[in-house]
Structure 1
Amino acid sequence: MTNYPLTWPAGWPRKTDAQRTDARFNRKDRRTVKYSNGDSMSYSIAKALTVSDGVNRVLDELARLGARPGSTVISTNVVTRLDGLPRSGQREPADPGAAVYWQDRAGAPRVMAIDQYRAVADNLAAIAATLEALRAIERHGGAQILERAFTGFTALPSPGAARGWREVIGVPAGEQDLVAVRAAFRRRAQAAHPDRPGGSHDDMAALTAAMRQAEEELS
């Protein structure tokens, strides 16, 4: 799995562009106005979430859940900072999905992925909100229920599991636009190329084969 580009969990369904919606997540900025007579008034302003806001929400919820330190990988199509976390202030990628991988207290691998919304920040916030809801189950004594809920949030299948070309290239399940597929291919090729850190001949070969399949199907 990689922080960038997005590594979507095998077997998890994808949303198409038409199925995605705008989210209502936001952050509140507290403002205080002081008057000349010594009085003051405070109020809140709702602002759109940044990618950094979404990342921080995810990390906070995982810490509360007891995720093992150093085990978290936040995977998106947003170019990362030096610390591996998504960098704010970039153009919204064509695929706004987000996936979070971590290990729980016992070391069991977990993954959660959401691409319901049109912005990466909102999908990260949705993951954080889902983690918060699951944490509430644990807080109210439902440890066994929580464990059952997490049975779907397990590690990726073995590397030998078959993957379709859309998953390899990193486009939604219903993508039919060859131009968009080629653009996604170029983005992934930059990271998969054996001359780049983390790239390999095997990854590049798999990506090239997937692009060949895409062209045969969509041309």
Structure 2
Amino acid sequence: MTEAYPLHWPEGKPRTARRERARFDTTHEIAQLALMDELRRMGATHPVLSTDIPVRGDGLPYARHRAPDDPGVAVYFMYKGNQVCFACDRWDRVRDNIQAVRKTIEALRGIARWGTGDMVEAAFKGFEALPAPGKAVSAVWWRVLGVSESATKNEIIAAYREKAKTSHPDVAGGSDSAMAELNNARAEGLRVASR
């Protein structure tokens, strides 16, 4: 997964050149809480909402922070064993882009409820998060983490935490690409260990 701040826009997704004002009637906090609720209802796990608004320890934005220059949002989460990302920067306010992602997920949940769930699975294939730039799609997860192929969930998590101490971009020697590779390895390892 990725960090909530600063904005981690998905690699390869084009940006909107000219943004519009949306007609959503919401606040940042309400939009964010409603988005997390939609993700929970859908069965998504490990959600991270990434924006250019600094967040408090509880994951909510600081109340008095000025509107960022970049209103884009990207929500990363795990869905049926795959890392998925929905991103939006069509609107000129962060809260409206969050609301747009929430509405999209709500619509996909509706499709699943109405009996055409195979369409939802096909739609989600287009939102699978891409690997970090310059990294192989199928990096061997257990080598990245330094564990055996038969590692338990606890071993995977412990190895991830240890490696994150040196891979995180906020520490000397760390980088976004190293952390992305480590995150991908953890997600794949946990998926395999869950079988």
Q: Taking structure 1 as the reference length, what is the TM-score of the superposition?
A: 0.61
Partner of 2:19: 20
Partner of 2:9: 8
SS at match of 2:110: helix
Which runs of 5 or more residues in structure 1 are unaligned?
27-48, 162-193, 205-219
1:90 aligns with 2:91: no
Give CA deviations for 1:98-127 in whole Å, capped at 9, x if unaligned.
0000112x2221110000001000000000
Distance in 1 between the 2:64 and 2:104 partners? 25
Distance in 2 between the 1:127 and 1:73 partners? 13
Partner of 2:41: 64
The structure where strand makes up a greater share of residues is: 1
Instruction: Choose from 116, 121, 138 the match for 2:90.
Output: 116
Q: What is the letter of the counterpart of residue 150 of structure 1? A: F
SS at match of 2:175: helix
Matches for 1:30-41 after TM superposition, within 5 Å: none
Distance in 2 between the 1:109 and 1:149 partners? 14
8 A contact 1:51–1:88 mirrored in 2: no
Q: Taking structure 2 as the reference length, what is the TM-score of the superposition?
A: 0.68
Structure 1 residue 203: Cα displacement = 3.2
Partner of 1:145: 119
Distance in 2 between the 1:125 and 1:25 partners? 7
- For these two proteins, the number of residue pairs brought into alignment is 145
RMSD: 2.3
Distance in 2 between the 1:115 and 1:14 partners? 7
State the identity %: 42
Give runs of ≥4 in structure 1 deviating > 4 Å: none
Structure 1 residue 59: Cα displacement = 0.5
8 A contact 1:52–1:87 mirrored in 2: no
Distance in 2 between the 1:21 and 1:121 partners? 13
Partner of 2:106: 132
